[in-house]
Copies of this chain bind each other. A is one copy, B any other.
Amino acid sequence: MSVNWNLPGPHYQATLGLLRAAEALWEGSRVFFDRWKLSPSQFNILNLLVGEPNGMSQAELSRQLIMHRSNVTGLVDRMEKRKLLQRKETPGDRRAYRVTLTERGRRLLNEILPHYHQAAEEIWGGISVGQANQIEATLDKLSKTVAQIAQRGTQEDMI
């Protein structure tokens, strides 16, 4: 008895801190966009669509935003109700919509972007672009590893 079960490894605290920081960042962005009654996802949709004059299908949006199709339905519903977006029919495909920015949506995005850029500069404060990129790269690697590990647990009955 009393083998070294459950002993936290050296990276245990770092992982807890990482997840806490990730959550704090996400929450911070939520509060930031609250001024304009937008969620981070809604901002991302505006940001994606502004470069697409022909719009995107909801399925494309769900892939870009890494979220389920069914969630896009509700997001687009609410943003369409606020007249930030509109659904147009897709020529040659009677299933899909083209979701495009309205003039009102474009105006809102242009109102937000300067604040967003300024916030981005402040967030990184004294950190150099090189360092920022390095942290981003590390985080990106970490995210991919996490995704792999997480997936592995759900595939224990593989062939």
| Segment 14-55 of A: residues with Cβ below 8 Å from B | 14-15, 17-32, 34-35, 40
Q: Choose from B10, B15, B35, B125 the contact partner of A123 (Cβ within 8 Å).
A: B15
A92 in the interface, Cβ–Cβ < 8 Å? no
- A12: chain B residues at CB < 8 Å are 116-117, 120
Q: Choose from B11, B40, B122, B133 the contact partner of A124 (Cβ within 8 Å).
A: B11
Given contacts A31-B151, A125-B145, contact A19 B25 (CB under 8 A): yes
A-B contact pairs, 25 of them (CB 8 A): A5-B114, A8-B117, A9-B120, A10-B121, A11-B121, A11-B123, A11-B132, A12-B116, A12-B120, A15-B119, A17-B136, A17-B140, A18-B135, A18-B136, A18-B139, A19-B29, A22-B23, A24-B144, A25-B139, A25-B146, A31-B147, A31-B154, A119-B146, A119-B149, A122-B145
Leading 10 A-B pairs by shortest Cβ distance: A28-B146, A24-B143, A21-B139, A31-B150, A22-B22, A14-B132, A15-B120, A17-B136, A32-B150, A11-B124
